[in-house]
Chains A and B, each alone.
Chain A
Amino acid sequence: MESQSQVLERLRTAFESRVTIPEKFRRTQLTNLMSMIKDNEEQIVNALHKDLTKPKFEAILSEVEIVMNELHCALSNLTSWMQPEYVSKNLATKLDECFVRREPLGVVLIIGPWNYPMQLLIVPLIGAIAAGNCVVIKPSEVSAATDNLITELIPKYLSKDCYAVVRGGAKETQALLKNRFDHIFYTGSQAVARVVLQAAAVHLTPVTLELGGKCPCLIYGRVNATAAAHRLVWSKFFNAGQSCVAPDYVLCSKATCDALVPALRQVLEDFYGSDIQKSPDMSRIVTPKHWTRLMGLLNRTKGKVVVGGEHDEKDRYIAPTVVVDVTEDDALMEEEIFGPILPILTIESLEESIKLTKTKEKPLAFYVFSDESSVVKKVLENSSSGGFCSNDGIVHMALPGLPFGGVGNSGFGHYHGHWGFEAFSHQRAVMLRGWALEKLNALRYPPYSDEKLSWLRWTTSPKSCSIM
């Protein structure tokens, strides 16, 4: 079996041979990737079911469809993305060709997480391939069945010289990070992100970090409780709450809470039936370790469980649970929950709620449910987060037209659609000058004079371009 350094050497040689540069090559690889997904949809769904008991519907929607959308986007737009971008000029450069060239960075590393092991690995891969890079793919070992599948499929469909899968746990990943890459794309937790960044600093490698955080969900003003409950339940309990953009906790007034809880209860029954553990549409917690962590939070909470609470250790099952009377210092407010537990904090005023969210780290997503546009506007203008969605959850990240990324503790850099291509490209500024107009150039040469200076100021001013 190849060692990590052998893999890297092979990919670097392939990159230096310039085989990934032509558009045709990138298109072929992306088309093959599309075939890989299409041909193996059933195996993908099965692997995801093995890892997370992911229902077929969720697997198709959030791990197959979204990847296909991104592939369509890349294939439709690759030609235009690869074109040089001509820029506006000033008088001094009027006769020059000035443009920005998008170039691949080289050999890049993509580290995927376990919660959406296909999507969060393959969507960045699409951007990296489209941008003309060679890629080292490191799937999460926690979602073992998907890890196996990806390791088996990638070399079957993509060029073995340019794209390699490297497997392993923490030890192997740390060893991998000692190597030099031209970009590292990491999706996961803040703790590991710091390790990744430290390793990247040694080689001055640029990084994209897609992290998480506690995504608040504010419900204020006039609200249709049933519609809100539908969307809240869907986005919170999708993948059993194990989404980086799942609404983590709810802030609302007592009256809203009183109206919301029965609505949530009803919707849960409509969605999953009276015995949720038997519903084929509910996922499970990924590992016993995470199950124990979540149960720990539930046991330590000082709030009151009003919906759910049932659990089954052998099945790694935790019922969709709603906890009310949660306060700021509760166990459930310590860290990102990443599970099917929804705390509701009762805060009477919108202003107080906004103030509370400001004391916390910037999350990956921010949600507000309200029929009043003034409430939505107030929250939007007084918060900061990776993304924002009013009156729904998660769906804003499904559009390739919107950049997906965090800010502050929730990460930096973004991708999806065109941004994925840009994340893995270098924007090289090119200026092609001629030999003529040396007289104009002479304005800048010594010996200097006041006259030369004033002419120079005029020719390089951005305004002079607008006169033309």
Chain B
Amino acid sequence: MERQAVQRAREAFLSGRTRPLEFRLQQLHALQRMIAEKETEIATALKQDINRSQYDTPLLELIGIENEIKLAIEKLGEWAAPRPAEKNLLTISDEVYIQPEPLGVVLIIGAWNYPWGLTLMPLVGAIAAGNAAVVKPSELSECSSLLLRALLPRYLDKDLYPVVTGSVSETQELLRLRFDHIVFTGSSTVAKLVMEAAARHLTPVTLELGGKSPCYIDKNCNIRVACRRITWGKFINCGQTCIAPDYILCEPCIQGRVVECIRQTLLEFYGADPKCSPDYGRIVNQRHFNRIMGLMEGYTPVVGGQSDSSQRYIAPTVLKDVPPHSRLMQEEIFGPVLPIVTVSDMDNAITFINEREKPLALYIFCSDKKAIKKMIAETTSGGVTVNDVMMHYTLNSLPFGGVGQSGMGRYHGKHTFEQLSHHRACMVRSLGMESVNLARYPPQNRQRARRARMALTSPLIDMSKRTLVWAILATIIGLGLLIALLVILLIAAGLNCTCWYWRGFYN
């Protein structure tokens, strides 16, 4: 079944109908309509999958997709146009440009924590770039997965953008087939399998993984505001966000204050009993519930800690003085548990971060610009937000992606289009001007070799600072000389007239 869907998608792609921009725009508009018209159904599916609140759906998923579609529709003409490139002497009369082209059939494997956003945002870019796309939503968010399978063919081209549902065996079956690019969002364990499968067909991949995103709070910053922002980012979607602040790093002297501020903020956000708040989510399934509860074993939380297995509910939980080598600090938490690890100062925090795998996101709360700059310069991560969390994800002019174990490649906005396109280098020459070419043909001698070297040297116009300075100087001198010449001519003309006057020429 998977094989047939992929085969149909390939045939549809080869028919060439995704090439015209009008077709791609039409598909994007249809997708836009789908999001607008089916918001309620999508919200219901998410409630069933992950107890997502009514507001979290547009907030966390739909607004992002809407913005991506709007941007793609507005900019597609610009993105898909040929881009001129710099020439050398040999190619001076040629057309030299880069033409973005579709890759072919792209496979998009979505994740369960944001089943709509993480599946449809890459799809927007795939459509814009002119590809066909096979969409494989996560089986863990089953209602969303089935709804997507029902909705997409009603709005988009049925052959070009099939939805394939199923679990591990169906995904493995898909991965045996050949694609022109695979976009995978998920865990690094599965990512390795995806990349291995892609290797067989020499397929390039974009991997959006995760990791433990550290959150450093400097002792001299506005701790109350910092904690409000961190609390929001940590407990949204019940902590099941790849860029959620995974753990806090701070000095022992402010640890108490941090705990208090988080406690207060939680009260403000979710009330005294978050279980009753319509805005607080649940853990996606029993396995993950057990996993997160297991991580907390042996530790006494200072905030929260309550749980209800029947509802897969874990209260927003904070633990302090967590040892760096505890189980909590070995794997990505991906849940509403926030450990605080104490460090002696910022340098210690930097060392702590650099000793671990490169995270998907780094958060720094600090008021000292110099210190912020230092921390950014001395660490690396997929992205950084300073004095807030997760916001770099929301600006689609910024590339979103990981580095090292947190992933490879990037997307959002124009970056998705670029990632899912082939940039074809094009040179359109004519058969004329053969005399210029003669220098490169054998039989060779010194003269020809020198001419050929000159013709191929790039850049044509040296844009270095030194040349610019000389150019400006030369222009000034040139202008100066010109003015001097004019003055001399004028004087001479004047003298001439005066001379002739005295001679009586004008009498």
A residues neighboring B (CB under 8 Å): 16, 18, 21, 55-57, 60-61, 65-66, 69, 72-73, 76-77, 87-90, 92-93, 96, 98, 100-101, 103, 105-106, 182, 190, 193-194, 197-198, 200-202, 204, 206, 209, 211, 223-224, 227-228, 230-231, 234, 270-273, 279, 281-282, 358, 369, 371, 376, 380, 384-392, 395-405, 407-409, 411-414, 426-435, 438, 441, 444-450, 452-453, 456-457, 460-463
Contact A201 B91 (CB under 8 A): no
Contact A228 B403 (CB under 8 A): no
A-side contacts of B144, CB under 8 Å:
none
Contact B383 A412 (CB under 8 A): no
Of the residues B96, B444, B464, contact of A57 by C-beta under 8 Å: B444
Q: Which of A211, A231, A234, A396 has the most CB of B within 10 A?
A: A396
User: Is residue B155 within 8 Å, beta carbon to beta carbon, of the partner chain?
Assistant: no
Contact A453 B55 (CB under 8 A): yes
Q: Mark B369-393, 1 if CB is under 8 A from A, else 0.
A: 0001000111011111111100110
Contact B90 A69 (CB under 8 A): no
Q: How far is the CA of A186 from the CA of B367 in the complex (A)?
A: 44
CB distance from A250 to the nearest CB of B (A): 16
CB distance from B452 to the nearest CB of A (A): 6
Q: How far is the CA of A275 from the CA of B302 in the complex (A)?
A: 89
A391-B429, A411-B202 as given contacts; A432 in contact with B372, CB under 8 Å: yes
Contact A230 B437 (CB under 8 A): yes
Of the residues B202, B407, B429, contact of A412 by C-beta under 8 Å: B202
B-side contacts of A402, CB under 8 Å:
85, 96, 98, 425, 427
A-side contacts of B459, CB under 8 Å:
72-73, 76, 400-401
Which residue of the partner chain A has the closest CB to B102? Answer: A384
Listed stretches B24-32, B193-201, B245-253; interface member: B193-201
Contact A198 B196 (CB under 8 A): yes
A sample of 13 cross-chain residue pairs with beta-carbon separation below 8 angstroms, ordered by A number, consists of A76-B463, A194-B200, A204-B407, A272-B443, A279-B443, A281-B443, A387-B427, A388-B424, A398-B88, A429-B395, A431-B383, A460-B63, A462-B74
A279-B443, A395-B91 as given contacts; A432 in contact with B386, CB under 8 Å: yes
A-side contacts of B277, CB under 8 Å:
446-447
A401-B96, A445-B269 as given contacts; A431 in contact with B426, CB under 8 Å: no
Of the residues A96, A100, A204, contact of B207 by C-beta under 8 Å: A204
CB distance from A437 to the nearest CB of B (A): 10
Of the residues A55, A56, A389, A441, contact of B429 by C-beta under 8 Å: A389
A-side contacts of B387, CB under 8 Å:
432-435
CB distance from B276 to the nearest CB of A (A): 12
CB distance from B441 to the nearest CB of A (A): 6
Q: How far is the CA of A223 from the CA of B432 in the complex (A)?
A: 11
B residues neighboring A (CB under 8 Å): 14, 53-56, 58-59, 63, 66-67, 70-71, 74, 85-88, 90-91, 96, 98-99, 101, 103-104, 180, 188, 191-192, 195-196, 198-200, 202, 204, 207, 209, 221-222, 225, 228-229, 232, 268-271, 277, 279-280, 354, 367, 372, 376-378, 380-388, 391-392, 394-401, 403-405, 407-410, 422-432, 434, 437, 440-444, 448-449, 452-453, 456-459, 462-464
A76-B462, A198-B196, A435-B367 as given contacts; A403 in contact with B425, CB under 8 Å: yes
Which residue of the partner chain B has the closest CB to A226? Answer: B434
Contact A430 B376 (CB under 8 A): yes
Contact B441 A204 (CB under 8 A): no
Which residue of the partner chain A has the closest CB to B428? Answer: A390
Q: How far is the CA of A25 from the CA of B96 in the complex (A)?
A: 34
Q: How far is the CA of A413 from the CA of B408 in the complex (A)?
A: 12
Q: How far is the CA of A167 from the CA of B453 in the complex (A)?
A: 32
Contact B180 A426 (CB under 8 A): no
A-side contacts of B14, CB under 8 Å:
358
A-side contacts of B386, CB under 8 Å:
430-433
Q: How far is the CA of A228 from the CA of B431 in the complex (A)?
A: 7
Contact A427 B67 (CB under 8 A): no
A-side contacts of B280, CB under 8 Å:
446
A61-B452, A401-B458 as given contacts; A457 in contact with B426, CB under 8 Å: no
A-side contacts of B188, CB under 8 Å:
204
Which residue of the partner chain B has the closest CB to A62? Answer: B456
Contact A399 B202 (CB under 8 A): no
Which residue of the partner chain B has the closest CB to A180? Answer: B404
Q: How far is the CA of A407 from the CA of B129 in the complex (A)?
A: 15
Which 6 interchain pairs have the tightest Cβ spacing?
Answer: A448-B55, A401-B86, A197-B199, A281-B442, A201-B195, A402-B425
Contact B384 A403 (CB under 8 A): no
Contact B425 A89 (CB under 8 A): no
Q: Which of B90, B96, B232, B408 has the most CB of A within 10 A?
A: B408
A55-B444, A448-B53 as given contacts; A430 in contact with B453, CB under 8 Å: no
B-side contacts of A453, CB under 8 Å:
55, 58-59
A201-B195, A399-B85 as given contacts; A391 in contact with B431, CB under 8 Å: yes
Contact A433 B96 (CB under 8 A): no
A61-B452, A460-B394 as given contacts; A387 in contact with B425, CB under 8 Å: yes
CB distance from A18 to the nearest CB of B (A): 7
Contact B431 A404 (CB under 8 A): no
A388-B424, A453-B59 as given contacts; A462 in contact with B90, CB under 8 Å: no
Which residue of the partner chain B has the closest CB to A361? Answer: B202
Contact A446 B270 (CB under 8 A): yes
Contact A204 B380 (CB under 8 A): no
A234-B440, A426-B403 as given contacts; A194 in contact with B199, CB under 8 Å: yes
Q: How far is the CA of A391 from the CA of B384 in the complex (A)?
A: 48
A-side contacts of B71, CB under 8 Å:
462
Which residue of the partner chain A has the closest CB to B393? Answer: A429
A399-B458, A429-B392, A431-B388 as given contacts; A55 in contact with B101, CB under 8 Å: no
CB distance from B156 to the nearest CB of A (A): 22
Contact A197 B437 (CB under 8 A): no
A-side contacts of B88, CB under 8 Å:
398-399
Contact A401 B85 (CB under 8 A): yes
Contact A388 B384 (CB under 8 A): no
Which residue of the partner chain A has the closest CB to B413? Answer: A462
Q: How far is the CA of A432 from the CA of B429 in the complex (A)?
A: 47
CB distance from B405 to the nearest CB of A (A): 6
B-side contacts of A224, CB under 8 Å:
431
CB distance from A458 to the nearest CB of B (A): 10
Q: How far is the CA of A452 from the CA of B489 in the complex (A)?
A: 75
Contact A60 B449 (CB under 8 A): yes
Contact B55 A462 (CB under 8 A): no
B-side contacts of A411, CB under 8 Å:
202
CB distance from B391 to the nearest CB of A (A): 5
CB distance from B507 to the nearest CB of A (A): 66
Contact B431 A73 (CB under 8 A): no
Which residue of the partner chain B has the closest CB to A419? Answer: B423
Contact B67 A460 (CB under 8 A): yes
Contact A399 B86 (CB under 8 A): yes
Contact B53 A55 (CB under 8 A): no
CB distance from A103 to the nearest CB of B (A): 5
A388-B424, A428-B384, A429-B383 as given contacts; A449 in contact with B392, CB under 8 Å: no
Q: How far is the CA of A392 from the CA of B95 in the complex (A)?
A: 13
Q: How far is the CA of A407 from the CA of B290 in the complex (A)?
A: 44
Known: A16-B354, A230-B441, A438-B228. 20 other contacts (CB 8 A): A87-B395, A89-B397, A93-B395, A200-B195, A201-B199, A206-B408, A230-B434, A270-B441, A281-B443, A388-B99, A392-B429, A399-B91, A402-B425, A403-B423, A428-B380, A431-B391, A432-B372, A444-B232, A445-B268, A453-B55
B-side contacts of A460, CB under 8 Å:
63, 67, 394
Contact B403 A105 (CB under 8 A): yes
Which residue of the partner chain B has the closest CB to A273? Answer: B443
B-side contacts of A388, CB under 8 Å:
99, 424-427
CB distance from B393 to the nearest CB of A (A): 8
A-side contacts of B443, CB under 8 Å:
271-273, 279, 281
A60-B453, A401-B458, A462-B67 as given contacts; A271 in contact with B442, CB under 8 Å: yes
Contact B222 A89 (CB under 8 A): no
Q: How far is the CA of A204 from the CA of B407 in the complex (A)?
A: 7
A60-B449, A433-B387 as given contacts; A404 in contact with B405, CB under 8 Å: no
